[in-house]
Amino acid sequence: MSSLEQAIAAVNRSSKIVVVAGAGISTDSRIPDFRGPNGVWTKNPGAEKSATIQSYVQDPEVRRTAWRNRLDSPVWSAEPNRGHEALVALEKRRKLHTLITQNIDGLHHLAGNNPDLLVEIHGSVREVMCLSCPYRAPMVRALHRVRAGEEDPDCPDCGGLLKSATISFGQGLVAADLERAQAAADSCDLMLCVGSTLSVYPIANVVPIAKVAGATIIILNGSETEMDGLADFVLRGSISEILPQLVGGAAAAPN
């Protein structure tokens, strides 16, 4: 049996699967990743610095640039790919316990995963939040104001700064989301990590949590990850090709 066939058998045996998804699952939807070989941060390390919450709050030019970038984001025309669809199939098989995603593109929602099973640990670009009050709203409304000429639209409730409802560098994760992710990791029988280098903490710690709890660990990624040493199966290659085979429920292909 190949390691893919063994991994398929492990998925078929499992009933409480936690998926950890990263940027690699969205690159086939033409959304660039951040830390891969062609990643945004890899090619332009300065962009990582300007993505901090401190510079966003302090520098109006950073905010104006951010709003222009949001208008032009590839997210708005992106569609879910076969990798996202495979995770919907996994949910239909009633095996998906929780889908923890590091992606902020909202494509798991668009693909049709149940929002109740989804933890968007780094937030979503499809909403805006106020940095001073609880105001939240769909991003499209704020972008409409930008198109109408506002360079840095403020909060309609309190006049505070608006930002996409994502976790920027320098911002802590939402505690309830992190706790939910950790609890899911602690109770799953299989953890499937897809398209992430598993190098961003604290969320990468869900992998050792699942390992200690006795779960089978499968890692599918285009390159090495920091958690390969903990994995029962490491699969390399195209996510949109391999993931449907891995979780789709088809019998392992005969040799």
Residues designated as active site: 122
Closer Cβ to Zn ion, 49 or 136, answer by number:
136
First vs last C-alpha separation in the chain: 9
State yes or no: residue 130 binds Zn ion (CB under 5 A): yes
**Tokens, residue 250:** 């088809």
What whole-number distance in Å separates Cα of residue 51 and Cα of residue 41? 10
- With respect to Zn ion, which residue has the nearer C-beta, 157 or 224? 157
Question: Considering the rule CB under 5 A, would residue 157 count as an interface residue with Zn ion?
Answer: yes
Residues 4-43 vs Zn ion: string with x where CB under 5 A?
Answer: ----------------------------------------
Among 10, 21, 23, 155, the residue binding Zn ion under the rule CB under 5 A is 155
CB burial of 211-240 (b: ≥16 within 10 Å; e: otherwise) equals beeebbbbbbbbeebebbebbbbbbeeebb
**Least distance to Zn ion from the beta carbon of 132, Å?**
5
By beta-carbon proximity to Zn ion, the closer residue of 106 and 153 is 153
Q: What angle do CA 85, 90, 96 make, to 5 degrees?
A: 125
CB-wise, 39 or 160, nearer to Zn ion? 160
Q: Count interface residues toward Zn ion (CB under 5 A).
A: 8
Q: What angle do CA 62, 104, 149 make, to 5 degrees?
A: 40
* Residue 154: DSSP 8-state: B
Pick the stretch among 64-72, 107-115, 138-146, 151-159 that binds Zn ion (CB under 5 A). Answer: 151-159
Instruction: Identify whether the C-beta of residue 222 lies closer than 8 Å to the C-beta of residue 236.
Output: yes
Cβ of residue 175: shortest distance to Zn ion, in angstroms? 21
Please work out, in degrees rounded to the nearest 5, the angle formed at the alpha carbon of residue 25 by the alpha carbons of 20 and 27.
Answer: 145
The 3-state DSSP class for residue 244 equals helix
CB of 115 to Zn ion, least distance (A): 24
Binding flag, residue 160, Zn ion (CB under 5 A) = yes
Q: What is the binding site for Zn ion (CB under 5 A)?
A: 130, 132-133, 135, 155, 157-158, 160
